[in-house]
Every structure is written in C-alpha cells, then in structure tokens.
Amino acid sequence: MSDEGDTRTAQAVLREANHTHGEQFRLLRRFDDGVQSGAWLLTDDTGRQAVLKWSPDLSWAPQIERAATGVAKIRAAGYPTPAWLAAGTSTDGFGYQIQELAPGHTAPQVTAHEARLLIGVLEMHAGLDPDPQRCWSEFVTTRMAGEDLWRQTAGTGPTGRDLVDACERLLAAHGPVTLPTEDLVHGDFRPGNILFDADRVSGVIDIEALGSGTRVFDYATLLSAHDFTPEALEMLYDAGEQVAGPGVLAYCFAQVALDLTVFVHRRNLRLGIQNVGKLLERTLVLLQRAEGRAEALTAADTLPWGKTPRSRRRSAAFRGPAGAPSVRDMTVSTWEQP
C-alpha cells in the first residue's frame, strides 16, 4: 500500500474508532523510525497522546479483538505493556487498536544491562497464560513436524542448507522434548518491540500475537535478533536454558531460525537475509553447548574400567550427530491444554 493510501485508510479507521469508542483523536504522524514502525501517533484536544495500529491483513482482525482481553489480563498482573484504549474492526474489515503512548526508546544494541532487564520481563511471563486456546507450543510443534519448513529453508540457498543441517544436528543432540504451555508468549519478543526508559523496561509493544505456551519461545525469538554483546548473549542462553531445559530452548530456537530465514527471503528483506548467517552461528553455539554437556556427562559417568553405564548409553543415542536419527523422526509433544 502506498503512503497516500495508508494515510487515507488510517484516517478512515480512526474516524470509525472515534465514533465507536467515544474518542476524539486525530492523526499527528506515522512512526517510521523503527519505534512502533507503521503505526500512527495520535493526539486529542486535551493534548493526550496515543498510538493507532491497524492491519491491512483482514484475516488478522479477529485476533486483534481477541488480544484485547489478554492485554487487560496481563496488565492486571503488572506486565509492562501499554493499555489498550480501544480495539475493533472497521466496516472495511481492518482490525485496529488504540493504545497508550509508552515513554522510552529501543536499544540500538543489547548489552548486559539491557539483557538483565529483558530477562526480568521474560520471567514475568511464567504462569501468566493469557489465552489457553491460542497455543504457541502447538504451533511450533506442528511447524517442525512437517516437511515444508525444512524444505523451504534449504531452498533459500547454501546458508539455508547449512542452517537446516545445523538444526537437525542440534535437535538430535537433545532428543525428544516437551514444550510446556503455562506461560505468556508474546510471539515477537525482539529488541525493536521493547522500550527502555532509564533503568527499566517501560513498554513491551506489538503484542497482538500473544498467547499461551512456553516463555522459552520468546527467549528464542530474542536470541534471533542481530545486535548483542557477547556477555548479553551468554546471559540469554543461560536464562533460556534454565526455564525448561536446554532441549526446549534448542527446539524453539531452531523453529524461530528456520521460519525467520524463510520469511526474510520471501519478503526479500536485505538486512534479514544478511542476518541468516548469525542465525546459523547461534545454532552452532547451542550445538556446542549441548556437545560440551554431553562430553562432561560421559566423562563423569565413565566407570574406572572405561565402560559407560547402560542408562547413559541409551540417552547418548540421541546426541551424536553421526548416524543420529532425523529430527523429523523424533516425537515432540506438548502438554494438553487446560
């Protein structure tokens, strides 16, 4: 959609939203600076400011309306996402929401300081299930069990094929895992969707996709972003693995990396395509961590005469990449939803 068309649609959506919800907002400008990009800054005669977000994807309208209930629930628990002042669907079928304007800015690079704050927010996701019927863990499992995602990633080119190989080795190193479903999942928990103000996270935005699942998925999504200091990365690897075990982080990260690779190639997003190499690097880091743990366990459990206990041999069958079963042959399940 052209800039002119976007402006006309935003004006029309806002007129309907004002009429429906008794507001008097008007457009000030569109955010095009990476903070709330594509959304619109609003104001009214009292000087109050807010943000309008609307989606050109008509199929997304029901989810925007559904998310309003989840946003209210997590805010009541103290989660730092802006309040939604209105949500609905225009007569043309465009879903929209108007939210409070949160103060703050995004971080150009995630250092140890920001990582510590982000971990604090992600740990607020524990047990904060906003919508048990919208399950991110089921989505991840379904995507990984099919052939399409793997084939599409391999079809993006040499780096994509290397990523597929690394992901298969990573999942083989851990064996079957179970993805919990008790937590809040944001669905796109990236540095560009987190606002910082002084020494706190002042706003978690772009939350329309929220649902149930494991917060490890949000750790994995965060780890797929490109600009971290080495210390920040180590903090996030450690925190993500501690939630439900290293295997769950590995599984979620593999899905995020594969899906993101396909997405950026389909959209021909130059910076995203350049970032696929970093996704491969981080997959290999997780694999090295898994192999390091396996070696440590083998060394600890080896008997004095050089034999490994039978229980360790059984679990080791899932670890070695040489001759390991394909991840697509492994059973990965989710907890039953409440």
Question: Model confidence over 24-74: pLDDT tens digits?
Answer: 999 999 987 544 446 999 999 999 999 999 999 999 999 999 999 999 999
| Closest alpha carbon to 233 in 123, 124, 119, 137 | 119
d(CA 329, CA 48): 56
Average pLDDT over residues 278-287: 98
Say if residues 309 and 301 touch (Cβ distance below 8 Å). yes
Specify the pLDDT at position 36.
47
For the segment 179-212, what is each residue's pLDDT rounded down to a tens digit? 999 999 999 999 999 999 989 999 999 999 999 9
Section 333-338 average pLDDT: 32
pTM: 0.87
Model confidence at 2, pLDDT cuts 50, 70, 90, reads low
Q: State the SS3 of 57-108.
A: CHHHHHHHHHHHHHHHHHHHCCCCCCCEEEEEECCCCCEEEEEECCCCECCC
pLDDT in tens, 229-244: 999 999 999 999 999 9
Residue closest to 179 by CA, chosen among 127, 138, 119: 138
Q: What pLDDT, on the 0 to 100 scale, is given for residue 153?
A: 98
Tell me the average pLDDT across 116-133: 98
Mean pLDDT for all residues in the chain: 88
User: 291-305, pLDDT tens digit by residue?
Assistant: 999 888 887 766 554
